[in-house]
Amino acid sequence: MSAIPAGGPGLPQRRHLVTEIPGPASRQLLARRESAVARGVSSILPVFVTAAGGGVLIDADGNSLIDFGSGIAVTSVGNSAPRVADRVREQAGQFTHTCFMVAPYESYVAVCEELARRTPGSHEKRSALFNSGAEAVENAVKIARHATRRQAVVAFDHAYHGRTNLTMALTAKNMPYKDKFGPFASEIYRVPMAYPLRWPGGPERCAAEAFDVIAGLIHAQVGEDNVAAVIIEPIQGEGGFVVPPAGFLPQLAEFCQAHGIVLIADEIQSGFCRTGDWFACDHEGVVPDLVTTAKGIAGGLPLAAVTGRAEIMDSVHPSGLGGTYGGNPVACAAALGAIETMAAEDLAGRARRIGEIMLPRLRKLADTYPVIADVRGRGAMLAVELTRPGTLEPDPAATQQVAKACHANGLVALTCGTFGNVLRFLPPLVIGEDLLEEGLSILEDAFAGL
Ligand code: PLZ
């Protein structure tokens, strides 16, 4: 085996397989893993990574794979992006932790300033920093309940908000996220999602009916003035990259405003340039009251945030929010490097360009293979949904088969969806166009092999 290269954009940007997938070195690590790592924590790829950068992952056998996953929409700026890695190195040499609740530091404040600048709306905002997406969602709900003195939270079919107790309750899908992990938190009410492909009566009726159905359910089953918050992913992530029809989110925002309900946009997967704008809400000018962010915010370091209207955020008494590690200085340094990269390299523009390259090829694929029932998404957050041809019956087996064929040929492709029948594409926004085209060719070959 050759020496392990350093990661970052300097890595040769090419797919190069030198062994089968997984190779012998990864197989050895898999065996060690089995006797040390809990079975409940699983991995999609069977290879162990030694370096990554730009649009490639290098494994323990020296294989170079094309990355269409970004570690689930995290390394949008690329792995070991120079501005991230440099700032992390510098910060780690200065101090690694004081606890912001004990002795504060500037970078935490600077991240909150950036969040105020970049998130939708020009109103006065405040932010609080946490470690994971789930923790941000938990805190957004805490804040909304505190501010409104109400308890009910409305979440959607196909929603994903995390794996902690409250966020499991908000997440829709049972297996693998919730099965026998209950009892779950109370006062969570679920309403249908505006899911055009699967709306009874079809996409046109979805646009016309979804909001009324949801508002009707809230009125009849919860009562508007019992609702603290409505939480929605403006483009759903784990649940299947579901894009609601134009007009739906603005209607929902208007409804929340009319009834004093806090609208929480969970932009943990869709945020930070992924969809071709800073946030997915921006495409329709929707201004949520609270926004949860994580993933792409810090180029791979664990950081999450709740950002929102000053009066809502500041309704919470001093010391009502916090946590030992929230806004860790190394993670904040990474976030400042990541946000600077997004702005300096116009990664929102890159995301739009990725969409322009990928969408026509995905649509052509759908024209060729009737197993593809839908092509959807925005910018560099794209997906295809697989069903038995001519029906809406999900085809998770074909989805798995395509994903596995991609992996065997050196393309990191992820699946998602309540029914496990969606292939999703989340390339790093810095991926080269040749690599992007090559990845799409591998995907096409995988469909040809079905
Ligand atoms: N909200 C919209 O996408 C995380 C989950 C991976 P954490 N999605 C990836 C898995 O199987 O655990 C996510 C999300 C949205 C919240 C979360 C939760 O973020 O950082 O994983 O807690």
Q: Is 59 in the pocket of ligand 1 (CB under 6 A)?
A: no
The answer on 117 and 227 residing in a single domain is yes
Number of structural domains (the chain) is 2
Under 8 Å between Cβ of 236 and 417: no
The answer on 172 and 40 residing in a single domain is no
Pocket probe mutation, ligand 1, options 156, 233, 295, 297, max atoms within 8 Å of Cβ: 295
Average pLDDT over residues 415-431: 98
Please report, rounded to a whole number, the percentage of residues in the chain having pLDDT higher than 70.
Answer: 99
Ligand 1 atom with minimal separation from the 159 CA: 2
Let me know if residue 8 belongs to a domain. Answer: no
Pocket probe mutation, ligand 1, options 129, 141, 156, 161, max atoms within 8 Å of Cβ: 161
Is the pLDDT at 2 greater than 90, yes or no? no
Give strand pairing partners of 375: 384
Let me know if residue 6 belongs to a domain. Answer: no
pLDDT at 3: 67
Q: In the block, which residue shows the tokens 């510098």?
A: 90
The answer on 91 and 66 residing in a single domain is no
CA of 127 to the centre of ligand 1 (A): 20
The answer on 318 and 184 residing in a single domain is yes
Average pLDDT over residues 354-360: 98
Q: Is 237 in the pocket of ligand 1 (CB under 6 A)?
A: yes
Let me know if residue 12 belongs to a domain. Answer: no
Average pLDDT over residues 285-294: 98
CA of 385 to the centre of ligand 1 (A): 20
Ligand 1 atom with minimal separation from the 302 CA: 20
Band the pLDDT of 372: cuts 50, 70, 90.
Answer: very high
Under 8 Å between Cβ of 232 and 252: yes
Please report, rounded to a whole number, the percentage of residues in the chain having pLDDT higher than 90.
Answer: 98
Let me know if residue 1 belongs to a domain. Answer: no
CA of 137 to the centre of ligand 1 (A): 10
Q: Is 232 in the pocket of ligand 1 (CB under 6 A)?
A: no
The answer on 122 and 97 residing in a single domain is yes
The answer on 234 and 122 residing in a single domain is yes
Which tokens go with 299?
């180029």
Q: Which of 290, 321, 344 is the last residue of a domain?
A: 344
Angle between helix 433-448 and 347-368 (nearest 10): 20
Which tokens go with 444?
């096409």
As a whole number of angstroms, the distance between CA 394 and CA 371 comes to: 9
Average pLDDT over residues 421-443: 98
The answer on 205 and 160 residing in a single domain is yes
Ligand 1 atom with minimal separation from the 294 CA: 20
CA of 272 to the centre of ligand 1 (A): 15
Average pLDDT over residues 126-151: 98
Residue nearest to atom 3 of ligand 1 (CA): 269
CA of 73 to the centre of ligand 1 (A): 10
As a whole number of angstroms, the distance between CA 176 and CA 257 comes to: 35
The answer on 434 and 356 residing in a single domain is yes
- Span 202-247, pLDDT tens digits: 999 999 999 999 999 999 999 999 999 999 999 999 999 999 999 9
Q: Which of 307, 323, 344 is the last residue of a domain?
A: 344
Q: Is the dihedral of CA 320, 108, 76, 410 positive or negative?
A: negative
Query: Long-range contacts of range 118-121, CB-CB < 8 Å, 24 or more positions apart?
Result: 118/278, 118/279, 118/339, 119/278, 119/279, 119/291, 119/293, 119/307, 120/265, 120/278, 120/279, 120/281, 120/282, 120/285, 120/286, 120/287, 120/288, 120/291, 121/287, 121/288
Q: The domain that contains 68 carries what CATH number?
A: 3.90.1150.10
Let me know if residue 3 belongs to a domain. Answer: no
Q: Is 161 in the pocket of ligand 1 (CB under 6 A)?
A: yes
CA of 294 to the centre of ligand 1 (A): 9
Q: Is 163 in the pocket of ligand 1 (CB under 6 A)?
A: yes
The answer on 283 and 240 residing in a single domain is yes
- Span 304-328, pLDDT tens digits: 999 999 999 999 999 999 999 999 9
Lateral strand order in the sheet of 152-156 = 125-130, 304-309, 290-293, 262-266, 227-232, 152-156, 188-191
Give strand pairing partners of 309: 125
Ligand 1 atom with minimal separation from the 135 CA: 22
Q: Is 72 in the pocket of ligand 1 (CB under 6 A)?
A: yes
- Mean pLDDT of all residues belonging to the chain: 97
The answer on 318 and 303 residing in a single domain is yes
As a whole number of angstroms, the distance between CA 265 and CA 439 comes to: 31
The answer on 352 and 339 residing in a single domain is no
Average pLDDT over residues 194-198: 98
Domain of residue 351: give its range: 24-77+346-448
Q: Which of 319, 344, 369 is the last residue of a domain?
A: 344
Residue nearest to atom 7 of ligand 1 (CA): 133
Band the pLDDT of 291: cuts 50, 70, 90.
Answer: very high
Residue nearest to atom 19 of ligand 1 (CA): 133
The answer on 96 and 71 residing in a single domain is no
Amino acid present at 412:
V
Is the pLDDT at 446 greater than 70, yes or no? yes
Let me know if residue 290 belongs to a domain. Answer: yes
CA of 160 to the centre of ligand 1 (A): 7
Q: Is 270 in the pocket of ligand 1 (CB under 6 A)?
A: no
pLDDT at 56: 98
Q: The domain that contains 278 carries what CATH number?
A: 3.40.640.10
Is the pLDDT at 404 greater than 90, yes or no? yes
Is the pLDDT at 1 greater than 50, yes or no? no
Which tokens go with 381?
């957050």
CA of 448 to the centre of ligand 1 (A): 32
Let me know if residue 19 belongs to a domain. Answer: no
Pocket probe mutation, ligand 1, options 42, 70, 72, max atoms within 8 Å of Cβ: 72
The number of C-alpha atoms within 13 Å of 264 and in the hemisphere containing its C-beta is 31
Let me know if residue 18 belongs to a domain. Answer: no
pLDDT at 5: 77
